[in-house]
């Protein structure tokens, strides 16, 4: 017998000539022998759905029987019957010889049924033997599996890294038990696990929318935490929530997924599902979720698992009961059925760029009895034109490999006779599994009738694996300047199966776990989660050299067991450039309009050991690499705080006729509508005539587009585009005693925050007071009237005192949450601790840049070698838009000096009033103060502004009829651009009508103002008693009648604010008006759940008088 395909070039015909074996002897042998002998005897053994048949191959002339025919039937038969009508099995025996034994099996039989069986032998010439004896065999009720124990517990540790156990499988019934084991992961608790909706719209039509196995290679040894989670989805952007408009119909969706062999060469372990929906809204609830095999269409797919989840919510991982591993190239369906009567539309639809993906999404309205492609369901809707671009917004997720592959069973299958048992050994090698607790199911599949799968829970506890952390050999920071710092982020990989944890109470590493051998280097303040097993972590390392030279050091991380991870660090520091300016203040003396420009010089010197690079941003567009972030526009800070120009505190002024807007603020409303300033206010080079006051304790010049969130700082993106002045920075609460008033005082706009509530902790608040003034010349003043930093949240470290330009590129900040260091994480600096100095009496002024009289600067940019200097020439002159008097220009200088002693060169000058003149302006020349009560105190401000460029003197102010008076002391002066309130006192001793003309005399000319109004009578309240002193028994009621009379000549209005133990009943009288005054500790916004008590029968109607007498 020879292999035909093995000769010559016959490989090209492989498979075309049968088995390819040629027996030359048989091929030449002639048919001289006749038929084979009959099968002499055979043995039958039955189970519940099959029987085995064994016999000896009978004699034949060529010692070979080509095949055997096994006939079987539920009815008796004989050789004389028509055997072609019987069921039969053909058995190929051509490679066996006469006398050999042979056994085969016939399956798919009915249990508890008698079958009649006979065999016939057939030689190679098709001649059949006589039929054997017909025997009978009866299938039985089948086997019954039982397993010893309810659960298997395995434990591994350092001393015993391989855990082993066993369980026993028994057969308690007559049939032959066949079993085979598979395993699935249920859950894993690793000790160190690493820790957009579109446009919404609706459409008409059928739909409505609310837009908005075993394997050979185990995965665990190759497990790397960074590879997870993995995710499969066709969804790219959540687009809409859709569903059937007929709420009586259910909604179902089916999405097909395929494991791409290129992307998932080790397969995909499905652990959870994720259903997308908008974050706000009501859609669907409690769907029936199923996983089907994906090898066929959804209508005929085989169910793999019905997911039994603890609760359902969108945008959340829904865990599977058992994780399912799919081999590369395999596929599966995810199906979700939502019952009828859902409040919203439950099916999340997403857009995709994959042109072939629409054929993988199906929809049903009969719980999956019939399905239609999603693209077809969208016909007739607003989405029809792009229906082929939509899929279901479902994500199939894998959070870990199939850990159950680490279980080793001996044996993995077997056959057990009636009354016998078999011991199965189970082992797990904990050295390749991350420390933790794992739950598995052993699924024993048998040939039992009915339920053919029995689950055996296995609990595996793994401990004792050590961390093994790989780090860079050396981290080289290169060369930087002393005074600078450099931070590098490096990756460390814990290739061990044990976590590098900080303590018994948590995995994170803190200061006690992190140390440095050199003061020039430091590690991170903490490492969240430590170094998890089989995971990559990132840590920040900082080089902050204290002196010049080459530096090296080691940062050491220590875990709870004393294990250490050391990282070697290297860096070189060079002494930086050091800026010196001589002189720092240039006295330009007196400058007059029309004079020729004057020149002044100053020197910029480099006292350091590195080239100094400088630029004056006002006069050059050059930039400096590594330059300090300094304020460039030119505001100057004055303050009562140390380190700034002197500026004195002023108490909150008494505003005349202020507007209180405190009641407009609540939790949801923190910004007013536009409020007119009454003048043009210059701010960062632009002029504004209106502002928006915010309950965050400040002013915006434009409404915010992003929501303001506490605490604000110069880094808050919500302030972009607004322009801001902030004195507090957290949202303040309003109490009945709180006031937020604004008004004018001496030409300045004043905002007074009085007794507003600042956060202490949780729901505790403390009253604070401060006020802000804005001057027409651009100066901003902030005064803290009642403020104690230590009493407030985080010791007041969230205070934001500063100004921010609309672009947030040139802010000026005294303190903010980003600047403060309340936990002493870094070395203390004046900036980081300044928040502690703010208290009652603190004052801050942001002095606006004055009109520019420095016209040019040369050179405005340059490089200065160490030890050398450069002379800078400045040209100054006066323009006709400048005011006389003392002035200054601060020219910001930016350098690569990491700690410059100076940030601006100051030019001081006195502008002569030569060629200049004052100009008097009174905005309101006809004032009517209306009706005021007799004996009341009434003051009327008349604001006088000097709109010229020279000091103006007010020499006199008098009324023609002397019917009103002036409280100011005359004469007085008004600076150019400034205003002063001339206070008019209204005499209210007697009732009368007043109308008089005020003439104001100044060296800029005279002007007149008409002032008119009426002094009317006043009411006078008389009480029948002013106090009650009585002794009352507990539980008894004391009633008294209080009589109120009005002895004045105007109507009397009154109100009661009784304490809780006092109740009032106010009688009705003709022409009476009744109202109530209520108080609250904190005026928070209230939510209401209204109940209609009129229609539900719970309401009770009474006369109006009842409610007046029984109000509570």
CATH classification at residue 242: 2.60.120
* Strand-pair partners of 754: 739
Do 168 and 255 lie in one domain? The reply is: no
Q: Are 1002 and 952 in contact (CB under 8 A)?
A: yes
- In the block, residue with structure tokens 């609706």: 202
Do 344 and 478 lie in one domain? The reply is: no
Q: Minimal CA–CA distance to 1022: which of 998, 1060, 1052, 1001?
A: 1052
Phi, psi of 283 (to 5 degrees): -125, -85
The pLDDT value given to residue 110: 85
Q: Is the dihedral of CA 811, 815, 821, 822 positive or negative?
A: negative
Last residue of one domain, picked from the residues 822, 839, 865:
822
CA–CA dist 1017, 1052 (Å, integer) = 11
Do 285 and 155 lie in one domain? The reply is: no
CA–CA dist 136, 114 (Å, integer) = 7
Do 651 and 771 lie in one domain? The reply is: yes
Q: Which residue blocks in 582-698 are alpha helix, DSSP H?
A: none
Q: Are 767 and 737 in contact (CB under 8 A)?
A: yes
Do 510 and 379 lie in one domain? The reply is: no
In a domain, 829, yes or no: no
In a domain, 660, yes or no: yes
Exposure pattern of 213-249 as b/e (b: 16+ CB <10 Å)? eeeeebbbeebebeebebebbbbbebbbbbbbeeeeb
In three-state secondary structure terms, 186 is strand
CA–CA dist 581, 844 (Å, integer) = 27
Residue 957, C-beta contacts closer than 8 angstroms, at least 6 positions apart? 966, 968, 970, 982, 998, 999, 1000, 1001
Instruction: Tell me whether strands 114-122 and 135-138 are parallel, antiparallel or unpaired.
Output: antiparallel
Q: Does 859 sit behind a cis peptide bond, omega within 30 degrees of 0 on the bond before it?
A: yes
Residue 343, C-beta contacts closer than 8 angstroms, at least 6 positions apart? 282, 283, 285
CA–CA dist 924, 744 (Å, integer) = 14
In a domain, 1107, yes or no: no
Instruction: Tell me whether strands 453-462 and 152-156 are parallel, antiparallel or unpaired.
Output: parallel
CA–CA dist 537, 556 (Å, integer) = 15
Do 957 and 975 lie in one domain? The reply is: yes
HSE value, Cβ hemisphere, 13 Å, CA-based, for 351: 15
Residue 506, C-beta contacts closer than 8 angstroms, at least 6 positions apart? none
Instruction: Tell me how crowded residue 600 is: count the other CB atoms within 10 A of its CB.
Output: 16
Do 254 and 391 lie in one domain? The reply is: yes
CA–CA dist 94, 953 (Å, integer) = 132
* Cα separation values, 221 from 323, 429, 431, Å: 18, 10, 9
Domain total for the chain?
A: 7
Do 1009 and 925 lie in one domain? The reply is: yes
Exposure pattern of 663-685 as b/e (b: 16+ CB <10 Å)? eebeeeebbbeebebbbebebbe
CA–CA dist 926, 937 (Å, integer) = 21
Last residue of one domain, picked from the residues 574, 591, 617:
574
Residue stretches of the chain with pLDDT short of 50:
1, 192-221, 1077-1087, 1103-1112
In a domain, 1009, yes or no: yes
Do 520 and 627 lie in one domain? The reply is: no
The pLDDT value given to residue 202: 29
First to last CA, the chain: 112
Exposure pattern of 110-124 as b/e (b: 16+ CB <10 Å)? ebeeebbbbbbbbbb
Last residue of one domain, picked from the residues 95, 111, 138:
138
CA–CA dist 524, 509 (Å, integer) = 9
Do 876 and 934 lie in one domain? The reply is: no
CA–CA dist 211, 198 (Å, integer) = 6
CA–CA dist 979, 966 (Å, integer) = 17
Token readout for 436 is 């933790």
Q: Are 294 and 330 in contact (CB under 8 A)?
A: yes
Q: Is the dihedral of CA 75, 80, 83, 89 positive or negative?
A: positive
Q: Is the dihedral of CA 307, 308, 310, 313 positive or negative?
A: positive
* Strand-pair partners of 660: 741
CA–CA dist 25, 4 (Å, integer) = 15
Do 610 and 566 lie in one domain? The reply is: no
Instruction: Tell me whether strands 904-911 and 585-591 are parallel, antiparallel or unpaired.
Output: parallel
CA–CA dist 823, 602 (Å, integer) = 43
The pLDDT value given to residue 1032: 86
CA–CA dist 918, 1003 (Å, integer) = 8
Q: Minimal CA–CA distance to 903: which of 630, 639, 635?
A: 630
In a domain, 841, yes or no: no
CA–CA dist 585, 760 (Å, integer) = 44
In three-state secondary structure terms, 530 is coil
Token readout for 839 is 């208290």
* Cα separation values, 208 from 39, 236, 345, 381, 1042, Å: 73, 21, 7, 8, 67
* Cα separation values, 139 from 45, 94, 175, 369, 370, Å: 9, 30, 8, 37, 40
In a domain, 1091, yes or no: no
Which runs of E-coded beta strand occur in 495-548? 514-516, 521-522, 535-543
CA–CA dist 862, 873 (Å, integer) = 13
Phi, psi of 795 (to 5 degrees): 55, 30
In a domain, 902, yes or no: yes
CA–CA dist 698, 671 (Å, integer) = 10
Q: Does 797 sit behind a cis peptide bond, omega within 30 degrees of 0 on the bond before it?
A: no
Instruction: Tell me how crowded residue 174 is: count the other CB atoms within 10 A of its CB.
Output: 17
Cα 972 to its chain centre, rounded Å, is: 60
In a domain, 448, yes or no: yes
Q: What is the spatial order of strands in the sheet that 598-606 belongs to? A: 579-582, 598-606, 869-876, 854-858
Do 529 and 655 lie in one domain? The reply is: no
In three-state secondary structure terms, 4 is helix
Q: Minimal CA–CA distance to 752: which of 664, 639, 658, 641?
A: 658
What CATH number has the domain bearing residue 950? 2.60.40.10
* Strand-pair partners of 72: 87, 117
In terms of pTM, does the model score above 0.85? Answer: no
- Find the domain containing 673 and state its range: 638-822
């Amino acid at each position: 017998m020879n292999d035909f395909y093995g000769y010559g070039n016959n490989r090209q015909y492989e498979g075309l000539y049968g088995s390819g074996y040629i027996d030359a002897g048989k091929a030449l042998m002639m048919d001289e022998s006749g038929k084979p002998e009959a099968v002499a005897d055979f043995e039958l053994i039955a189970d519940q759905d099959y029987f085995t048949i064994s016999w000896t191959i009978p004699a034949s002339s060529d010692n070979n029987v080509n095949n055997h025919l096994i006939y079987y039937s539920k009815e008796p038969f004989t050789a004389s019957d028509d055997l072609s009508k019987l069921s039969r099995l053909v058995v190929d025996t051509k490679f066996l010889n006469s006398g050999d034994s042979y056994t085969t099996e016939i399956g798919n039989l009915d249990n508890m049924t008698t079958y009649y069986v006979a065999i016939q032998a057939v030689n190679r010439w098709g001649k059949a033997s006589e039929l054997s004896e017909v025997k009978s065999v009866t299938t039985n009720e089948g086997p019954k599996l039982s397993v010893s124990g309810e659960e298997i517990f395995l434990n591994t540790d350092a001393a015993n890294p391989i855990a082993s156990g066993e369980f026993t499988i028994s057969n308690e019934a007559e049939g032959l038990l066949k079993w085979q084991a598979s395993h699935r992961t249920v859950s894993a608790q690793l000790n160190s696990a690493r820790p957009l909706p579109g446009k919404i719209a609706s459409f008409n039509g059928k739909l409505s929318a609310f837009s908005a196995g075993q394997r050979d290679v185990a995965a665990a040894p190759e497990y790397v935490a960074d590879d997870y989670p993995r995710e499969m989805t066709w969804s790219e952007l959540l687009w809409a929530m859709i569903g059937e408009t007929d709420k009586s119909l259910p909604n179902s969706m089916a999405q097909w997924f395929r494991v791409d062999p290129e992307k998932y060469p080790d397969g995909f372990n499905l652990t959870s599902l994720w259903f997308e929906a908008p974050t706000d809204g009501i859609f669907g609830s409690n769907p029936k979720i199923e996983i089907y095999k994906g090898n066929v269409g959804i209508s005929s797919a085989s169910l793999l698992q019905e997911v039994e989840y603890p609760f359902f919510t969108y945008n959340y991982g829904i865990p599977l009961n058992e994780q399912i591993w799919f081999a590369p190239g395999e596929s599966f369906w995810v199906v979700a059925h939502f019952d009828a009567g859902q409040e919203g539309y439950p099916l999340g639809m997403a857009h995709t760029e994959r042109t072939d993906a629409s054929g993988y999404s199906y929809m049903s309205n009969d719980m999956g009895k019939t399905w239609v492609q999603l693209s077809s369901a969208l016909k007739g809707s607003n989405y029809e034109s792009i229906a082929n671009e939509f899929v279901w917004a479902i994500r199939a997720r894998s959070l870990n490999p199939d850990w159950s592959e680490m279980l080793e069973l001996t044996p993995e299958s077997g056959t057990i006779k009636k009354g016998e048992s078999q011991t199965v050994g189970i082992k797990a090698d904990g050295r390749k599994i991350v420390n933790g607790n794992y739950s598995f199911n052993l699924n024993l599949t048998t040939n039992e009738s009915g339920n053919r799968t029995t689950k055996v829970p296995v609990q595996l506890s793994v401990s004792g694996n050590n961390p093994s952390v790989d780090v860079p050999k050396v981290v080289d920071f290169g060369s930087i300047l002393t005074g600078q710092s450099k931070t590098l982020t490096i990756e460390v990989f814990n290739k061990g199966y044990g976590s590098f944890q900080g303590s018994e109470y948590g995995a994170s590493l803190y200061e006690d776990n992190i140390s440095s051998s050199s003061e020039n280097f430091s590690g991170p303040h903490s490492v969240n989660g430590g170094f998890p097993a089989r995971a990559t972590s990132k840590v920040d390392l900082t080089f902050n050299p204290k002196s010049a030279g080459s530096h090296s050091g080691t940062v050491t991380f220590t875990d709870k067991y004393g294990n250490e991870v050391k990282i070697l660090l290297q860096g070189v520091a060079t002494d930086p450039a050091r800026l010196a300016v001589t002189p720092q203040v240039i006295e330009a003396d007196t400058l007059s309009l029309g004079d020729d420009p004057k020149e002044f010089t100053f020197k910029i010197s480099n006292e350091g050991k590195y080239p100094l690079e400088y630029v004056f941003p006002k006069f050059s567009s050059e930039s400096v690499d590594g330059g300090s972030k300094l304020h460039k526009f030119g505001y100057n800070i004055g303050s009562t705080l140390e380190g700034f120009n002197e500026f004195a505190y002023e108490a909150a002024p008494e505003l005349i006729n202020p507007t209180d807007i405190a009641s407009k603020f609540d939790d949801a409303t923190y910004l007013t509508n536009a409020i007119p300033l009454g003048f043009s206010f210059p701010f960062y080079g632009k002029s504004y005539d209106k502002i928006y006051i915010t309950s965050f304790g400040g002013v915006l010049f434009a409404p915010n587009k992003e929501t303001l969130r506490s605490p604000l700082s110069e880094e808050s993106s919500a302030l972009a585009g607004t322009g801001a002045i902030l004195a507090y920075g957290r949202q303040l609460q309003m109490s009945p005693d709180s006031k937020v008033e604004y008004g004018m005082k001496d030409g300045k706009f004043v905002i007074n925050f009085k007794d507003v509530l600042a956060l202490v902790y949780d729901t505790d608040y403390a009253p604070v007071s401060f006020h802000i003034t804005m001057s027409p010349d651009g100066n901003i003043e902030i005064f803290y009237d009642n403020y104690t930093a230590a009493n407030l949240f985080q010791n007041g470290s969230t205070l934001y005192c500063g100004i921010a330009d609309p672009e947030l590129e040139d802010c000026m900040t005294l303190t903010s949450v980003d600047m403060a260091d309340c936990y002493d994480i870094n070395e203390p600096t004046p900036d980081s601790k300044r928040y502690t100095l703010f208290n009652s009496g603190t004052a801050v002024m942001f002095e606006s840049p004055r009109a520019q009289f420095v016209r040019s600067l040369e050179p405005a940019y340059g490089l200065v070698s160490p030890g050398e200097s450069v002379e800078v020439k400045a040209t100054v002159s006066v323009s006709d838009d400048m005011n006389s008097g003392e002035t200054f220009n601060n020219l910001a200088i930016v350098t690569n000096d990491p700690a410059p002693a100076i940030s601006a060169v100051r030019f001081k000058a006195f502008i002569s009033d030569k060629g200049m003149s004052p100009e008097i302006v009174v905005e309101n020349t006809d004032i009517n103060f209306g009706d005021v009560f007799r004996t009341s105190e009434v003051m009327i401000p008349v604001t006088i502004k000097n709109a010229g460029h020279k000091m103006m003197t007010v020499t006199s102010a008098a009324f023609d009829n002397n019917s009103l008076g002036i409280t100011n002391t005359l004469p007085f002066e008004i600076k150019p651009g400034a205003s002063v309130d001339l206070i008019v006192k209204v005499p209210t001793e007697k009732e009368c009508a007043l109308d008089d003309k005020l003439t104001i005399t100044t060296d800029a000319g005279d002007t007149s103002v008409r002032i008119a109004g009426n002094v009317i009578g006043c009411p006078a309240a008389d009480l029948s008693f002013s106090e009650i002193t009585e002794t009352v028994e507990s539980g008894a009621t004391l009633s008294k009648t209080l009589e109120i009379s009005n002895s004045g000549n105007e109507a009397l209005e009154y109100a009661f604010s009784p304490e809780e133990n006092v109740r009032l009943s106010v009688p009705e009288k003709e022409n009476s008006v009744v109202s109530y005054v209520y108080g609250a500790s904190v005026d928070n916004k209230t939510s209401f759940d209204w109940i209609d008590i009129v229609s539900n029968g719970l309401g009770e109607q009474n006369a109006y008088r009842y409610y007046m007498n029984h109000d509570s």
